[in-house]
């Protein structure tokens, strides 16, 4: 089995772990943290997310960053039918279109994924420069998102960038540890990268939480796509990866990304439509007026 095929299989397994964990977390999302700590179901979800993260790290050892990172979109694609199955319902037409567009766009990206002769790592100078640029970008995005009345999309973009850069650093750490053992963590560059991974992962989680204040659909779509875009940019600019097909390949890759974005947007909109509750006023009206309640259940002419 080639390293590239192994990386793809690890990516799919990682996405499946993340998807299963997300579905289980969603089922207990309304419970307070104190209650969740005593629920085996919640700990199972955390374990599945841990498995997904571990497989993602291993995949970065065998495949280029620009190939591995787009597979994160599969988490949403796999989670939709899994959630529908557990809820004993059929996948909606909107969800089906979203899955189709997302898979089509992802295939287009993968066929033109960045290629390199070996799995590259960041040098000390590149690591320092990347962290400085990332800090400035996250500060700007977080600042815009904190403005009263601002869209949660700024925070969602910051979350995607945080996770994308974290994946790039993870590849560097994984390669060093694989080649030199855990003693590589004593190297200042590797140690700084490992510390930055923890910081960026935490920042990504906090930015994601902030982005959901205005709803789920659009912020989730933005963060899901910003993640691989940021990682691919690092791979192409700093790690020597190249897009197959040159300028034509880049154009097709961008078009494929647009198709994937449309699919992810459809999936998240479908999720929002299923979870948004009725307005309180409408619920109160139905409770107060039994005639209207009965009439609302009658078929329309």
Domain ranges of the chain: 1-113+261-274, 117-240
Question: Which residues have C-beta within 8 Å of that of residue 207, sequence separation ≥ 6?
Answer: 138, 141, 142, 145, 155, 156, 158, 159, 162, 223
Q: Which H or E run contains 132?
A: helix 124-146
Query: Rounded distance, CA 180 to CA 74, Å?
Result: 32
> What is the arithmetic mean of pLDDT over 122-149?
84
Tokens of 87: 């809820």
Each residue's pLDDT tens digit, 119-131: 678 888 999 999 9
| Model confidence band, residue 195 (pLDDT cutoffs 50, 70, 90) | very high
**Alpha-carbon torsion, ordered 225, 226, 230, 231, to 10 deg:** -40
Q: At what angle do helices 73-86 and 246-275 cross, to 10 degrees?
A: 30
Rounded to the nearest angstrom, the gap between the alpha carbon of residue 207 and the centroid of all alpha carbons in its chain is 13
User: In whole angstroms, how far apart are CA 192 and each of 28, 48, 199, 204, 206?
Assistant: 36, 27, 10, 18, 21
In this structure, are residues 267 and 76 in contact, taking their beta carbons and an 8 Å threshold? yes
> What is the arithmetic mean of pLDDT over 183-201?
89
Query: Rounded distance, CA 155 to CA 150, Å?
Result: 10
Query: Rounded distance, CA 59 to CA 10, Å?
Result: 6
Task: Provide the whole-model pTM.
Answer: 0.66
pLDDT of residue 135: 93
Query: Rounded distance, CA 172 to CA 248, Å?
Result: 29
Q: Using the predicted structure, report yes or no on whether residue 95 has a pLDDT greater than 90.
A: no
Each residue's pLDDT tens digit, 259-296: 878 887 787 677 655 554 544 444 444 444 443 333 33
Nearest Cα to 164, choosing from 88, 242, 68? 68
Strands 114-115, 242-243: pairing kind = antiparallel
Nearest Cα to 61, choosing from 140, 167, 216? 167
Each residue's pLDDT tens digit, 209-249: 677 565 544 566 677 778 777 877 887 788 776 666 667 77
| Model confidence band, residue 28 (pLDDT cutoffs 50, 70, 90) | low
Query: Rounded distance, CA 278 to CA 286, Å?
Result: 11
Alpha-carbon radius of gyration of the chain: 21
Query: Rounded distance, CA 78 to CA 15, Å?
Result: 8
Query: Rounded distance, CA 186 to CA 189, Å?
Result: 9
**Alpha-carbon torsion, ordered 201, 13, 257, 159, to 10 deg:** -10
């Amino acid at each position: 089995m080639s390293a590239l095929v192994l990386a793809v299989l690890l990516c799919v397994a990682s996405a499946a772990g993340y998807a299963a964990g997300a579905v289980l977390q969603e089922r207990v999302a309304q419970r307070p943290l104190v209650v969740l700590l005593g629920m085996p179901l919640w700990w199972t979800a955390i374990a599945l997310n841990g498995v997904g993260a571990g497989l993602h790290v291993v995949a970065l050892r065998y495949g280029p960053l620009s190939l591995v990172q787009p597979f994160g979109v599969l988490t949403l694609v796999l989670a939709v039918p899994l959630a529908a199955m557990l809820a004993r319902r059929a996948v909606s037409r909107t969800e089906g279109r979203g899955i189709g567009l997302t898979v089509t766009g992802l295939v287009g990206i993968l066929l033109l994924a960045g290629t390199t002769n070996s799995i590259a790592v960041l040098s000390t100078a590149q690591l320092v420069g990347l962290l400085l640029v990332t800090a400035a970008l996250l500060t700007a995005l977080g600042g815009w998102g904190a403005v009263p009345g601002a869209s949660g999309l700024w925070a969602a973009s910051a979350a995607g960038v945080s996770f994308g850069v974290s994946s790039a650093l993870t590849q560097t750490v994984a390669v060093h540890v694989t080649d030199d053992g855990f003693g590589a963590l004593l190297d200042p560059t590797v140690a700084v990268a490992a510390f930055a991974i923890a910081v960026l992962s935490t920042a990504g989680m906090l930015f994601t939480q902030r982005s959901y204040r205005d709803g789920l659909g659009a912020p989730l779509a933005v963060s899901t796509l910003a993640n691989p875009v940021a990682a691919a940019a690092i791979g192409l600019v700093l790690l020597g990866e190249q897009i197959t097909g040159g300028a034509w390949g880049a154009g097709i890759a961008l078009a494929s990304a647009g198709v994937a974005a449309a699919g992810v947007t459809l999936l998240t909109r479908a999720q929002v439509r299923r979870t948004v509750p009725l307005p309180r006023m409408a619920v109160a009206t139905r409770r107060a007026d039994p005639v209207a309640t009965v009439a609302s259940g009658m078929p329309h002419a």
